Chains A and B, each alone.
Chain A
Amino acid sequence: MSFFSEIASKPWTDEQIKVDDQFKGHTFTLPKAMLGLRVLLVVVTMFFTLLAIAYSGRMTFEDWQSLPEPGLLWFNTGLLLVSSVVFRWTKSATQQGRNGKVKLGLFLVGALAFAFLIGQLIVWQQLADLGHFASANPANGFFYLITGLHGLHLLGGLVAWGRTTLRVMRGKIGQEKLLLSVEMCALYWSFLLVVWLAMFLLLLVT
């Protein structure tokens, strides 16, 4: 039942009482943690959307000077893309219960994500060497702000990844819990990839 048809029901009528008495206590057939993650993703989407709006609003002023796009950014984007794809693959390995592949997958994902973060730091270094400091122009400020925040979100994801990986290494996790953890991490990775692509596109076209 959709939210709107649910709030249209009349809880005091006899017919509705019969229906309501059958209600099992949860609105969605999702694990609680997964719903929590999805709500969080909505909040983060809001966050980056606001940044994007602020960016495009600020762009219209005449002192805006676009930033050069170092080629390394393309490489980093590739790393994040592969990392996200590997996570999908790890997820299906988990579903099939192939523990060896899961470990390999998790290891690869982490390595790629760290490589992405290091790559982003190198981009910062390159830009700073060219004299594009955060304070030099609003475009620079936004670039550092957006890439920095995206990186921080990925770091947060790596904490979750680290916990899952440690548990897998110790073998101290049930199949069901492991699958949920991997599914949630994979979702978060794909989400951060989409956020990055959107932000990268925004930086490219301006």
Chain B
Amino acid sequence: MTETTSPEDDIVPPQEVPEMDLYHPHSFLTRWIFSQDAKVIAIQYSLVAISIGMVALVLSWLMRLQLGFPDSFDFIDAADYYQFITMHGMIMVVYLLTALFLGGFGNYLIPLMVGARDMVFPYINMLSFWIYLLAVLVLVSSFFVPGGPTGAGWTLYPPQAILSGTPGQEFGIILMLASLMLFIVGFTMGGLNYVVTILQARARGMTLMRMPLTIWGIFIATVLALFAFPALFVASLMMMFDKILETSFFMPAMIEFGEKMSYGGGSPILFQHLFWFFGHPEVYIVALPAFGIVSDLLSVNARKNIFGYRMMVWAIVGIGALAFVVWAHHMYVSGMNPYFGFFFATTTLIIAVPTALKVYNWVLTLWRGNIHLTLPMLFALAFILTFVNGGITGLFLGNVIVDIPLSDTMFVVAHFHMVMGVAPIMVIFGAIYHWYPLLTGRMLHNGMGQFHFWVTFLGAYAIYFPMHYLGFIGVPRRYFELGETTFIPDSAHDLNAFITVAALVVGFAQLVFLFNLFWSRRNGIVAERNPWKATTLEWQTEHMPPTHGNFGKDLPIVYRWAYDFSVPGAESDFIPQNMATKDVKLAEGMTVADLKAEKT
């Protein structure tokens, strides 16, 4: 068939991408511990994030035990309960999800997927991990100081966060603020790497619009984080001043035990603005990488190009921009000018437009696709369902008038767990099942995986669906115990017990998953090269798992976008990004012209 190839297809463009100076490790210490290889750093990030995430998981069990069976556990008192809430929330949002998506997946996938040998500043990248680890250790140390960790709630609202009566008021809050500041410094180092690597170190032919959506998601999320984290840094620093130097940035005049405190005139609302200026983009810092990854999982497993690639990119960019103008919808109950509330309710509803667009495109990618119900696909489908669920309750809460009665109830807990807890975690699981063979050369055990998926997916619904109902009847959140509250029927207590049982079962399923990770490392089925038949560059490396420097002697040259699945005329149902048209094996009786004709 080669005689039909037109001459221009034969031209192989010169490499023209300069080689990077790589740091080559010489000892165990520089290879695995103080490594400057993004892949090793990614695994370090992931292991630390998952370990601290397990702590947060156990904290959630303790909370659920208390809520489901009040008065049964002597070792949980009200102060403990608030500490569990606070640490669970902060760990899950910042130290697990942000670190895993950007530090873990970002580090592993960016260089491989854009066709670079490593991150552009490997040394700074290594520092980023070690500062992150330090931040985690500082956070953990707060469990062991007098008074324990802070119990101010994950939002750390002043004035109560630093007043007596709040658990952890002595040292816990200081360690929390210090840990957050460290995390932000570490993240900024990593973030510079991700952005500059994506912009400046791609392979020849890898234009922005040929990048897989995974990279787009991570890229825009990183930009968001670089803009948003300074707000949290400023807020943490000012609160630290208030706590240690007794300044009054956030602290109003107060009387404590009959005595006037030295504070005066500070504005707690200012903290809320700073916090949520970080806090809302944070939702998208977690969601955008998930959006990107899930797009690729769906496309690979439906053997179809992603529907509306350009729209998907625009939606990611649009959501990123809008994420900065919706923050005050977290503050409706703090009281605000009605016009202000109107503005933020409007922007909140507007951001649903690009988000819904993405959901439609995911569903349309499935339409008439050749769907393979692999484990990553199951998790991706579960993500769509869960995200739609959590997203729609978000539309309710975006309206001031609906939010005010619901804001302090379990409804909000159900909403944000669905939309930014369960949904992104579904993607994380899907992504781990998808890329585990690349990391280890072996597949995760399918039976354990199926068990993990069904228990997690159905279990998550058993936990959070009833919680919406509890919220509607007015069960408040943040309460240690409900006691004899007249408007709460007995059935609500039964429901709470049911939710607790479901939560424990789902938690158990995660242990099966962790066991699978370790067990399959040695005993899993040896993976074929490119087991999912994906087009992206990380599967086209010389070795699997990829070695130091990622690609062999020559960097890859990219000839196409990441979504050439089921191209008519081609023999195989996918064409890797680095395969030139002249190298594509054609199906019987087809010509290169057919290959092209169908694509336009």
Mark A residues whose CB is within 8 Å of B. Answer: 3, 6-14, 17-18, 20-28, 30, 32-33, 35-36, 39-40, 42-43, 46-47, 50-51, 54, 57-58, 61-64, 134-135, 137-138, 140-142, 145, 149
A8 to chain B, nearest CB (A): 7
* Chain A residues within an 8 Å CB radius of B277: 50
User: In the complex, what distance in Å separates the CA atom of A186 from the CA atom of B8?
Assistant: 47
Give the most central of A23, A47, A51, A135: most B CB within 10 Å.
A23
B134 CB-CB contact with A under 8 Å: no
* Chain B residues within an 8 Å CB radius of A9: 207, 209
* Chain A residues within an 8 Å CB radius of B188: 40, 43
* Chain B residues within an 8 Å CB radius of A8: 310
B275 to chain A, nearest CB (A): 12
Stretch at the interface among B244-252, B492-500, B521-529: B244-252
- Which one of B115, B226, B234, B561 contacts A11 once the chains associate, using CB atoms below 8 Å? B561
User: In the complex, what distance in Å separates the CA atom of A54 from the CA atom of B208?
Assistant: 37
* Chain A residues within an 8 Å CB radius of B264: 63
User: In the complex, what distance in Å separates the CA atom of A132 from the CA atom of B39?
Assistant: 51
The 8 tightest CB contacts between A and B, nearest first, are A141-B247, A63-B265, A47-B230, A11-B561, A135-B246, A25-B17, A11-B209, A26-B200
Q: List 30 A-B contacts (CB under 8 A).
A: A7-B313, A11-B560, A12-B560, A14-B596, A14-B599, A20-B207, A20-B210, A21-B13, A22-B13, A22-B205, A23-B207, A26-B201, A26-B202, A32-B196, A36-B120, A36-B196, A39-B226, A47-B233, A50-B274, A54-B238, A54-B270, A54-B274, A58-B267, A61-B267, A63-B264, A134-B241, A138-B248, A138-B249, A141-B245, A141-B247
B195 CB-CB contact with A under 8 Å: yes
- Nearest-neighbor residue (CB-CB) of B263 within chain A: A135
User: In the complex, what distance in Å separates the CA atom of A7 from the CA atom of B241?
Assistant: 44
* Chain A residues within an 8 Å CB radius of B162: none
Q: Are A27 and B210 in contact (CB under 8 A)?
A: no
- Which one of B17, B193, B265 contacts A138 once the chains associate, using CB atoms below 8 Å? B265
B121 CB-CB contact with A under 8 Å: yes
- Nearest-neighbor residue (CB-CB) of A64 within chain B: B265
- Which one of B195, B227, B247, B273 contacts A134 once the chains associate, using CB atoms below 8 Å? B247
Give the most central of B192, B200, B231, B309: most A CB within 10 Å.
B200
- Nearest-neighbor residue (CB-CB) of A13 within chain B: B600
Q: Are B227 and A46 in contact (CB under 8 A)?
A: yes
B442 CB-CB contact with A under 8 Å: no
User: In the complex, what distance in Å separates the CA atom of A123 from the CA atom of B201?
Assistant: 46
User: In the complex, what distance in Å separates the CA atom of A33 from the CA atom of B20?
Assistant: 13
Q: Are B270 and A141 in contact (CB under 8 A)?
A: no
B334 to chain A, nearest CB (A): 14
Beyond known contacts A7-B209, A36-B121: 8 more, CB 8 A cutoff: A17-B559, A24-B16, A25-B203, A26-B200, A42-B227, A58-B270, A137-B248, A138-B266
Q: Are A50 and B231 in contact (CB under 8 A)?
A: yes
* Chain A residues within an 8 Å CB radius of B13: 21-22
- Nearest-neighbor residue (CB-CB) of A63 within chain B: B265
Give the most central of B17, B196, B233: most A CB within 10 Å.
B196
* Chain B residues within an 8 Å CB radius of A54: 234, 238, 249, 270, 274
Give the most central of A9, A10, A12, A64: most B CB within 10 Å.
A12
- Which one of A6, A23, A35 contacts B206 once the chains associate, using CB atoms below 8 Å? A23
Q: Tell me whether A145 and B227 are in contact in the complex, defined as CB-CB below 8 angstroms, given that A24-B16, A54-B274 are known contacts.
A: no
User: In the complex, what distance in Å separates the CA atom of A145 from the CA atom of B241?
Assistant: 9
User: In the complex, what distance in Å separates the CA atom of A62 from the CA atom of B233?
Assistant: 27
* Chain B residues within an 8 Å CB radius of A135: 245-248, 262
Q: Are A138 and B247 in contact (CB under 8 A)?
A: yes
Q: Are A28 and B208 in contact (CB under 8 A)?
A: no
Q: Are B230 and A141 in contact (CB under 8 A)?
A: no
User: In the complex, what distance in Å separates the CA atom of A58 from the CA atom of B195?
Assistant: 34
* Chain B residues within an 8 Å CB radius of A27: 199-200, 208
* Chain B residues within an 8 Å CB radius of A6: 207-209
User: In the complex, what distance in Å separates the CA atom of A78 from the CA atom of B201?
Assistant: 41
User: In the complex, what distance in Å separates the CA atom of A134 from the CA atom of B237?
Assistant: 14
Q: Are B265 and A57 in contact (CB under 8 A)?
A: no
B262 to chain A, nearest CB (A): 7
B519 CB-CB contact with A under 8 Å: no
- Nearest-neighbor residue (CB-CB) of A35 within chain B: B196
- Nearest-neighbor residue (CB-CB) of B563 within chain A: A12
B508 CB-CB contact with A under 8 Å: no
* Chain A residues within an 8 Å CB radius of B267: 57-58, 61
Q: Are A28 and B561 in contact (CB under 8 A)?
A: no
Q: Are B238 and A145 in contact (CB under 8 A)?
A: yes
User: In the complex, what distance in Å separates the CA atom of A23 from the CA atom of B314?
Assistant: 21
A21 to chain B, nearest CB (A): 5
Q: Are A24 and B204 in contact (CB under 8 A)?
A: yes
Chain B 243-285 against A: per-residue CB contact (8 Å), 1 yes, 0 no? Answer: 0011111000000000000101111001001100100000000
- Which one of B192, B233, B274 contacts A40 once the chains associate, using CB atoms below 8 Å? B192
B317 CB-CB contact with A under 8 Å: yes
User: In the complex, what distance in Å separates the CA atom of A42 from the CA atom of B440?
Assistant: 38
- Nearest-neighbor residue (CB-CB) of A133 within chain B: B245
User: In the complex, what distance in Å separates the CA atom of A39 from the CA atom of B560?
Assistant: 29
* Chain B residues within an 8 Å CB radius of A137: 248
